[in-house]
Structure 1
Amino acid sequence: MNKAGQAEKPAAAGPPATPETPEPDPKRWLALTVLLVATFMDLLDANIITVAIPSIQRDLGASTFAIQAMTAGYTLSFAVLLITGGRLGDIFGRKRMFLVGVGGFVLASAMCAAAPSTDLLVVARALQGLTAAIMVPQVLALIHVSFAPQEIGRVVSLYASMVGLAIVSGPLIGGALISWSPLDLGWRSIFVVNLPVGVLALIGAAKWMRESSSPHAKRLDMVGMLLIVVGLLLLMVPLTLGRELDWPVWSIASLVAAAPVLVLFVVYERHKTRKDGSPLVTLSLFKVRAFGAGIGVQLLFSAIPAGFFLSWTLYLQAGLGWSALHTGLTAIPFSLCVPIVGGLAVRRLSPLYGRYCLLAGAVLMLAGILSYAWAADRFGTGITSWHAIPSMLLIGSGMGMLMPPLTALVLREVQPQEAGAASGIINATGQLGAALGVAVIGSLFFAALAGNAGPQAERVVPTVQSVSPRQASDLQDCATEALGQDDLAKVPDICSTLVQGADDGTRDTINGALGEIRAKTFVSTYSETLYWAAGGLVPVTALVLLLPHHRVRREDLAR
Structure 2
Amino acid sequence: MRSGWALAVLLSAWFMAQFDFFVVNVAAPSIERDLGAGPAALELIVGGYAFTYAAGMITCGRLGDRYGYRRMFVWGVAAFTVASVLCGVAATSAQLVAARLLQGLAGAAMVPQVLATISAAIPPRERARAIAWYGVAGGLGSIAGQVLGGLLLTSDVLGLGWRSVFLVNLPVGLVVVPLAARLLPRAETAPQARLDLPGAAGLAGGVALVLVPLGLGDSLGWPAWTWACLALAVPVVALTVRWQRVLAARGGRPVLDLALLKVHSYLAGVAAITAFMAYFASFMFTLTLLLQRGLGLDALQAGLAFAPMGVAFSVTSLLGARLVRSYGLAAVLFGGGVVALGLVLVLVAAGLGLSYVIAALVCVGLGNGLVLPQLIGAALVEVEPHQAGIGSGFLTTAQQFAGSGGVALIGAVFFAVAAGGHETAAMRWSAAIDLALILVVIAMVAYTGRRTGPARRGVPT
- Coarse TM-score class (shorter-chain normalised): over 0.9
Note if contact 2:147-2:306 (Cα within 8 Å) is conserved in structure 1: no
Aligned residue number for residue 272 of structure 2 = 297
Note if contact 1:308-1:530 (Cα within 8 Å) is conserved in structure 2: yes
Aligned residue number for residue 40 of structure 1 = 15
1:373 aligns with 2:319: no
**Aligned residues between the structures:** 457
1:435 aligns with 2:435: no
1:229-285 deviations in Å (ceiling 9; x for gaps): 111111111122212222111111111111111111111111111112411111111
Aligned residue number for residue 334 of structure 2 = 360
1:390 aligns with 2:359: yes
Note if contact 1:43-1:167 (Cα within 8 Å) is conserved in structure 2: yes
1:445 aligns with 2:421: no
Note if contact 1:217-1:279 (Cα within 8 Å) is conserved in structure 2: no
Q: Whole-Å Cα distance in 1 between the matches of residues 269 and 413 of structure 2?
A: 27
Aligned residue number for residue 416 of structure 1 = 385
Q: Whole-Å Cα distance in 2 between the matches of residues 392 and 278 of structure 1?
A: 45
Q: Whole-Å Cα distance in 2 between the matches of residues 256 and 274 of structure 1?
A: 29
The verdict on how the C-alpha distance between 1:552 and 1:390 changes in structure 2, with shifts beyond 3 A counting, is farther
Q: Whole-Å Cα distance in 2 between the matches of residues 274 and 287 of structure 1?
A: 16
Q: Whole-Å Cα distance in 2 between the matches of residues 273 and 42 of structure 1?
A: 32
Deviation at 1:61, TM superposition (A): 1.0
1:350 aligns with 2:342: no
What amino acid is aligned across from residue 332 of structure 1 in structure 2?
A: A
Aligned residue number for residue 206 of structure 1 = 181
Aligned residue number for residue 120 of structure 1 = 95
Aligned residue number for residue 283 of structure 2 = 308
Aligned residue number for residue 74 of structure 2 = 99
Q: Whole-Å Cα distance in 2 between the matches of residues 439 and 54 of structure 1?
A: 19
Q: TM-score, normalised by structure 1?
A: 0.79
Aligned residue number for residue 374 of structure 2 = 405
Aligned residue number for residue 84 of structure 2 = 109
Q: Whole-Å Cα distance in 1 between the matches of residues 391 and 406 of structure 2?
A: 22
Aligned residue number for residue 528 of structure 1 = 429
The correspondence for 1:74, drawn from 27, 44, 49, is 49
Deviation at 1:49, TM superposition (A): 1.2
Q: Whole-Å Cα distance in 2 between the matches of residues 419 and 187 of structure 1?
A: 37
Residue 220 of structure 2 aligns to a residue in which SS? coil
Residue 116 of structure 1 aligns to a residue in which SS? coil
Deviation at 1:387, TM superposition (A): 1.9
**Large movers: runs of 4+ above 3 Å:** 548-553
Deviation at 1:213, TM superposition (A): 4.3
Query: Pairwise CA RMSD of aligned residues?
Result: 1.8
1:249 aligns with 2:218: no
The verdict on how the C-alpha distance between 1:418 and 1:526 changes in structure 2, with shifts beyond 3 A counting, is same
Q: Whole-Å Cα distance in 2 between the matches of residues 536 and 312 of structure 1?
A: 16
Q: Whole-Å Cα distance in 1 between the matches of residues 361 and 217 of structure 2?
A: 30
Q: Whole-Å Cα distance in 1 between the matches of residues 128 and 44 of structure 2?
A: 37
Note if contact 1:41-1:194 (Cα within 8 Å) is conserved in structure 2: yes
> Percent identity at matched positions?
37
Q: Whole-Å Cα distance in 1 between the matches of residues 295 and 337 of structure 2?
A: 29
Q: Whole-Å Cα distance in 1 between the matches of residues 215 and 57 of structure 2?
A: 17
What amino acid is aligned across from residue 207 of structure 2 in structure 1?
A: L
1:52 aligns with 2:10: no
The correspondence for 2:136, drawn from 161, 169, 180, is 161
For structure 1, list consecutive stretches of 5 or more residues without a partner in the other structure: 1-24, 454-517
Note if contact 1:339-1:400 (Cα within 8 Å) is conserved in structure 2: yes
Deviation at 1:527, TM superposition (A): 2.0
What amino acid is aligned across from residue 423 of structure 1 in structure 2?
A: S
Q: Whole-Å Cα distance in 2 between the matches of residues 411 and 363 of structure 1?
A: 23
Q: Whole-Å Cα distance in 2 between the matches of residues 404 and 332 of structure 1?
A: 19
What amino acid is aligned across from residue 407 of structure 1 in structure 2?
A: I
Note if contact 1:217-1:278 (Cα within 8 Å) is conserved in structure 2: no
Residue 81 of structure 1 aligns to a residue in which SS? helix
Note if contact 1:51-1:171 (Cα within 8 Å) is conserved in structure 2: yes
Q: Whole-Å Cα distance in 2 between the matches of residues 54 and 331 of structure 1?
A: 20
If you compute each CA radius of gyration, which structure gives the higher value, 1 or 2?
1
Note if contact 1:74-1:125 (Cα within 8 Å) is conserved in structure 2: yes
Note if contact 2:2-2:185 (Cα within 8 Å) is conserved in structure 1: no
Note if contact 1:88-1:97 (Cα within 8 Å) is conserved in structure 2: yes
The correspondence for 1:149, drawn from 124, 143, 148, is 124
For structure 2, list consecutive stretches of 5 or more residues without a partner in the other structure: none
Note if contact 1:175-1:324 (Cα within 8 Å) is conserved in structure 2: yes
Deviation at 1:402, TM superposition (A): 1.0
Query: Per chain length, whose mean CA-contact separation is higher, i.e. which structure has more relative contact order (CA < 8 Å, sep 6+)?
Result: 2
Residue 182 of structure 1 aligns to a residue in which SS? coil
The correspondence for 2:171, drawn from 189, 192, 196, is 196
Q: Whole-Å Cα distance in 1 between the matches of residues 134 and 454 of structure 2?
A: 22
Note if contact 1:106-1:198 (Cα within 8 Å) is conserved in structure 2: yes
What amino acid is aligned across from residue 259 of structure 2 in structure 1?
A: S
Q: Whole-Å Cα distance in 1 between the matches of residues 190 and 95 of structure 2?
A: 40
Q: Whole-Å Cα distance in 2 between the matches of residues 172 and 118 of structure 1?
A: 24
Aligned residue number for residue 237 of structure 2 = 262
1:103-162 deviations in Å (ceiling 9; x for gaps): 111111111111111111100010000111101110000111121111111111111111
